[in-house]
Amino acid sequence: MVFHPSAEPAVLHAAIRDQFEAFLDEHRSMLHDSLNGLTEEQARRSLVTSKTTLLGLVKHATVVEKVWFDEAITCRSRSEIGIPDTPDESFDLQDGDTIATVQQAYQQACEASRQSTAKLDLDDVIRGNRRGPLPLRWVYLHTLRELAQHCGHADILREQILSDTAVPG
């Protein structure tokens, strides 16, 4: 049975901001944890024609956090933040990327995201995104949609990886 903190009574009856944040954190955690228990080789295994690997997916999610909760809020450039110019580049793995380093970077980016939005209201306008001014509410929804998609990708990739190591019974 899968535990979903967002389904807890406290969240069901919470303010909308608290609900958004509970769902975001739940999906952040699921994506982070998709690497747990894998070998470095498994995390880097390419199973699709795109650059998508489990390790690359979590690395990409780190960039997503920085695009929406650093670049969009602070108006700093991607080069100032130290992130790739394009989403496709965010899947690129370096030799030094490991499960531990990618998970740690993702956790740090998520915490920085929480801090950057802590004093904002849902209707506050974020001005640093290429789409133009957007309310924080929209940014939360967009990020949640992206994380949900990536959690689905991660589930499928992980299932494929683990099925290769399953012992026939």
Give 11-31 pLDDT, tens digit per residue. Answer: 788 899 999 999 999 999 999
Residue 40 has pLDDT above 70, yes or no: yes
* CA triple 41-35-83, angle to 5 deg: 90
Query: pLDDT grade, residue 168 (50/70/90)?
Result: low
Q: Is residue 44 classed exposed, middle or buried when 0-12, 13-18 and 19+ CB atoms within 10 A define those classes?
A: middle
pLDDT of residue 10: 79
Give the predicted TM-score (pTM) of the model.
0.92
pLDDT per residue as tens digits for the range 136-162: 999 999 999 999 999 999 999 999 999
Residue 92 has pLDDT above 60, yes or no: yes
Q: For helices 54-66 and 136-165, give the axis angle rounded to 10 degrees.
A: 170
Cα–Cα distance measured from residue 146 to residue 156, given in angstroms and rounded to the nearest whole number:
16
Q: For helices 99-117 and 54-66, give the axis angle rounded to 10 degrees.
A: 20
The CATH homologous superfamily of the domain defined by 5-165: dinb family like domain (1.20.120.450)
* Phi and psi torsions of 135, nearest 5°: -75, 150
Instruction: Report which residue type is found at 62.
Output: T
Coil, helix or strand at residue 125? strand
Cα–Cα distance measured from residue 23 to residue 34, given in angstroms and rounded to the nearest whole number:
17
